Amino acid sequence: MTASGHHDSFDYIVVGSGAGGGPLAARLAEAGMRVLLLEAGAEGLADHDSDDYAVPAFHGRATEDPATSWQYFVRHYANRKQQERDSKFVAARDGVFYPRAAALGGCTAHNAMITIYPHAEDWNEIYELTGDESWRAENMRTYFERLEDCGYRWRPWRLPANRLLAALATHLPLLNHRFRNDARHGFGGWLHTALADPLMALEDKKICALLGDAAQANVAEFWQRRGDLFAGPRSWLDPNDWRLRDSPDGVWEIPMAVQRGRRNGSRERIRDVARRLPHRLVVRTGCLVTRVLLDEEPAATGVEYIHAPHAYWCDPCPARGPMPPVQTACATQEVILAAGAFNSPQLLKLSGIGAAAELGPLGIEPRVELPGVGRNLRDRYEVAVVSRMTRDFSLLSRRNRFRPPFPGERPDPAYRRWRWCGKGVYATNGTVVGVVRRSDYGRAAPDLFVFGLPARFEGYYPGYSCELEHHRDYFTWAILKAHTENRAGEVRLRSADPRDPPVIDFHYFEEGSDTKGEDLDAVVKGVRIARDIMSRAGTAVAEEVSPGPEVQTDDQLKEWIRDNAWGHHASCTCPIGKRADGAVTDGSFRVHGVGRLRVVDASVFPRIPGFFIVTSIYMLAEKASETILADAAKHLTGNPTRLIHARHCRPR
């Protein structure tokens, strides 16, 4: 794949190659459109991937790889005194480390690859906002089936071509289930999903015992899903099985986006299409988009960008100095922003789309008054219950270094096994089990995901990934609070320089909009669930390190949570909805008040979906491609691959 065909004009320009932009650009190119995909990161264009990218167990290292990391430092609180109580706070950067990726594939190049389907309520809420039936949960499942290539469930058999045999096959009680896809998994998509080898847990008695403790604490919920006897136990532990959507609570295995022991995601999708259709999908890396060009309507006509790797000042080694020469690319059809919850609103504001009261003082000409841009920033709340065990986990043998070998260094046994057959502990993301619960039984959907990993993990701070490889005798129950009530976060421009990262403040807990304190109460419940599971481990636990035995009452836990919570699923800064209600985009991803401009990434969710948002964003990309192509068809004539209204890229 090369950045060939360096022309000025394309049908579509997609900004950002992550979970939204990469699959979207690929679909448009496959449909015959000529697409320019611009990615600020310089890594990933070549066929060779670093071990930090490819090895699932190294995903922590990938978040701090200086070649691909964007190091945001965000505020959880505007109140400086409260913020300083967080041990992860870095005073010199006035914030807490929030890892993002600058590489082909965006944050799919460093995430933990967890692939869990969102809740029906996430999609039905968008349907209620827009009145668009295509957003209903029943219909949205189609996009998951389209993108997934499930590697851990039986692929349904094809029905015989003979009608008589087909009728017989569908009516035989012992065989008909093999011809159906009742689980509604996908088996021919571009994203391969897998589970960790269950036999691997048998290599470590302590991990087996902890899995048993989690199952024992949730046996009632597990028993409720035993209905389909033909589906078998693997179905009962599959959180993505469509049949179990009404029984989401309890213990689950954790699906991963892994193929043959290697990470797979947006990057592989882009490469595949760019190789097959090099003149349709043109990929340019190391290109930081500085603004969207608008005509008099206003409507998007193209973008300006600088070709300068490491130009963005979140880069660990930023290239400061004078602004590099600005280049222009024109779109005859549309510009689509997929730069993420921080950068998509930043680009809209730099282009004059936002609140005039914010833009004017920075010297930016306001073009469209859209004050919702950058507001409604949401995230999960996460904390961790960490225990030191009496002995190392045998699965984490100290012969294994949990890092790539240095030049000339003999690879460790786990690395050799991973290279040889794509198996073993390096072929996993480290999670061993997930527990789904509701903080309140009256909730329509579960809001707590408690997952275990044999490591010491207490959030993100510079150098945290090195700590993961030093502790072989720790176990963490990470508590993730989903469907949060707080919507008070914001992304504001720091300056009019597009290289300058925005100011990001989440306004946690009481500083935010959750006046009833529901989020904080829910996290307390999650901590107690994790402690209950760990209490069953008995003498295998030496001590609880965090929160620690001195933190017991609800008030003590709330104080500890306020001081230590973090998140890493920022979203909702360009939400779908009505303009009068402060929304930024409509149900077709179009920016209110601007023609030929859309946003397709985590920022368009009105509320943060599910537990892990990457699956939801992949589904958005598939839906958006269908919507965009349907709109394009209304403007095509004759040859469906040629657009009739090419326009010059003349910004006002």
225-234 per-position pLDDT tens digit: 555 545 566 6
Q: How many domains does the chain have?
A: 1
Residue 401 within any structural domain of the chain: no
In this structure, which long-range contacts are made by residues 403-407, counting pairs with CB atoms below 8 Å and at least 24 apart in sequence? 403/58, 403/61, 403/469, 404/50, 404/51, 404/52, 404/55, 404/58
Token pair 């209490």 is at which residue?
Answer: 535
54-63, 167-176, 422-431: lowest mean pLDDT where? 167-176
- 219 has pLDDT over 70: no
Kindly tell me the burial class for residue 90, based on how many C-beta atoms sit within 10 Å of its own C-beta (0-12, 13-18, 19 or more).
Answer: middle
What is the spatial distance between Cα 603 and Cα 20, in angstroms, rounded to a whole number?
A: 10
Strands (E), 455-523: 474-481, 489-492, 503-505
Measured between alpha carbons, how far apart are the two ends of the chain, in Å?
35
For residues 451 and 533, is the Cβ–Cβ distance under 8 A? Answer: no
Residue 456 within any structural domain of the chain: no
- 508 has pLDDT over 50: yes
Question: pLDDT tens-digit profile of 191-207?
Answer: 999 998 766 766 777 78
Task: Tell me the three state secondary structure of residue 627.
Answer: helix
Residue ranges of the alpha helices (H) in 218-354? 219-223, 233-236, 266-276, 340-350
Strands (E), 175-315: 191-193, 250-252, 258-259, 262-263, 281-285, 287-294, 300-307
- What is the sign of the dihedral through the CA atoms of 341, 459, 563 and 438? positive
Q: Which CATH number fits the domain that encloses residue 71? A: 3.50.50.60
Residue percentage of the chain with pLDDT more than 90: 79
- 217 pLDDT band, cuts 50/70/90, is low
The predicted pLDDT at position 222 comes to 60
**Which of 368, 280, 282, 294 has the alpha carbon at shortest distance from 649?**
294
User: Encoding tokens for residue 330?
Assistant: 């024109």
151-160, 208-217, 218-227, 602-611: lowest mean pLDDT where? 218-227
Residue 563 within any structural domain of the chain: no
- 221 pLDDT band, cuts 50/70/90, is low
| Mean pLDDT of all residues in 360-389 | 98
For residues 376 and 370, is the Cβ–Cβ distance under 8 A? Answer: no
Task: Tell me the three state secondary structure of residue 525.
Answer: helix
| List 76, 192, 471, 569, catalytic entry | 569
The predicted pLDDT at position 163 comes to 80
Residue 139 within any structural domain of the chain: no
Q: With both helix axes pointing from N to C terminus, report the angle between 614-633 and 137-147 in degrees, rounded to the nearest 10.
A: 100
What is the spatial distance between Cα 215 and Cα 562, in angstroms, rounded to a whole number?
A: 30
The predicted pLDDT at position 584 comes to 99
Q: In terms of pLDDT, which residue wins out, 136 or 5?
A: 136
For residues 147 and 153, is the Cβ–Cβ distance under 8 A? Answer: no
Phi then psi dihedrals of residue 99, to 5 deg: -70, 135
- 181 pLDDT band, cuts 50/70/90, is confident
Phi then psi dihedrals of residue 133, to 5 deg: -60, -25
Question: pLDDT tens-digit profile of 26-46?
Answer: 999 999 999 999 999 988 777
Sheet holding 375-377, edge to edge: 375-377, 489-492, 503-505
What is the pTM assigned to this prediction?
A: 0.94
Question: pLDDT tens-digit profile of 83-96?
Answer: 999 999 999 999 99
Residue 157 within any structural domain of the chain: no
Residue 60 within any structural domain of the chain: yes
Kindly tell me the burial class for residue 444, based on how many C-beta atoms sit within 10 Å of its own C-beta (0-12, 13-18, 19 or more).
Answer: exposed
Residue ranges of the alpha helices (H) in 261-302? 266-276
- What is the sign of the dihedral through the CA atoms of 501, 503, 509 and 513? negative
Determine the structural domain holding residue 601 and report its residue range: 13-112+264-378+569-633
| Mean pLDDT of all residues in 576-603 | 98
What is the spatial distance between Cα 370 and Cα 354, in angstroms, rounded to a whole number?
A: 4
The predicted pLDDT at position 48 comes to 80
Q: How many other CB atoms are there within 10 angstroms of residue 569's CB atom?
A: 24
Cα dihedral 126/131/133/136 (nearest 10): 30
- What is the sign of the dihedral through the CA atoms of 168, 233, 204 and 403? positive
Helix (H) or strand (E) holding 187: none
- 79 has pLDDT over 50: yes
> What b/e sequence results for 99-136 when a residue is b if at least 16 CB atoms lie within 10 Å of its CB, and e otherwise?
bbbbbbbbbbbbbbbbbbbbbbbbbbbbbebbebebbe
The predicted pLDDT at position 235 comes to 75
Q: In terms of pLDDT, which residue wins out, 211 or 135?
A: 135
- 641 has pLDDT over 60: no
Phi then psi dihedrals of residue 200, to 5 deg: -65, -35
Residue 299 within any structural domain of the chain: yes
Residue 400 within any structural domain of the chain: no
Strand partners, 35: 12, 281
What is the spatial distance between Cα 1 and Cα 14, in angstroms, rounded to a whole number?
A: 17
Task: Tell me the three state secondary structure of residue 315.
Answer: coil
Contacts of 378 (CB under 8 A, 6+ apart): 484, 486, 487, 489, 570, 571, 572, 607, 608
> Cα dist. 51→54, 65, 427, 614 in Å?
5, 11, 12, 22
Question: pLDDT tens-digit profile of 243-302?
Answer: 888 889 999 999 999 999 999 999 999 999 999 999 999 999 999 999 999 999 999 999
| Mean pLDDT of all residues in 458-469 | 90
User: Encoding tokens for residue 365?
Assistant: 């000409």
- 140 has pLDDT over 60: yes
**Which of 281, 347, 355 has the alpha carbon at shortest distance from 312?**
347
Sheet holding 381-389, edge to edge: 250-252, 433-437, 448-453, 474-481, 381-389, 541-546
Active site residue 568: no
For residues 193 and 150, is the Cβ–Cβ distance under 8 A? Answer: yes
